Amino acid sequence: MNLSLFLKYNEYICRLKDLVRTGWIRSNVGDGETVAEHMYHTALNTIIIKEVTEDIDIDWSKILIMSLVHDLSESILGDIPTYEKTREDRKREKEILRDMLRELGYPSEWADEIVELSSKEGIIVKILDLISTVYQGIKYIEKGYCSDYLVNIISNSISELDKLIGKLESYQLTNLISFLKGYAVGYIRRCKSVSYTHLRA
């Protein structure tokens, strides 16, 4: 039994449970979602979306593992918003995730797929990641939080979803994204038109 590996990764997990996502901090959200909570949301959506998307041939078991580890490197690097990551940030993220996957007994090249979106599975993981982000942003608007930064997170995530969905041949997943997009747009309009008691950024 490798006790050092057990202790090491439980430490990483606990760090992620305490690490609030940077975007929500900048959106002035109180008690924001942590990276661990985001990863759980992403992973559980793998199971849910597998059940509602039957027209795409991919390895869902692989996607589930990739979803569970996709932000694991943030336990070392911290949470850097997607649109602020430099080429060096992505290189470091991939190197750390490759080492982690290897230590955990999974193919290290999955890190390349996750960071570079170089496979259908990697693209799906990113789509699931963005769905989680959009949905969480909507829930914050429902709670009364509204800022330009929050709206931009949702809008940028939707734009990225539009780009990624075109790389997959799935009518059902495309429809799901279209539904989410329409759902989110309604909340964005609400955010822009209603005054809230919470601080605006």
Q: Kindly report the backbone phi and psi dihedral angles of residue 166, in degrees, each rounded to the nearest multiple of 5, phi listed first.
A: -70, -15
Q: Return d(Cα 89, Cα 110) in angstroms, integer.
A: 17
**Are 180 and 134 contacting, i.e. CB atoms less than 8 angstroms apart?**
yes
CB 89, CB 123: distance < 8 Å = no
Which residue from 160, 100, 104 is spatially nearest to 134, judged by alpha carbons? 160
120-129: per-residue pLDDT in tens?
A: 999 999 999 9
Mean pLDDT of the chain: 93
pLDDT band at residue 74 under the 50/70/90 scheme: very high
Residue in 15, 141, 5 with CA at minimum distance from that of residue 72 = 15
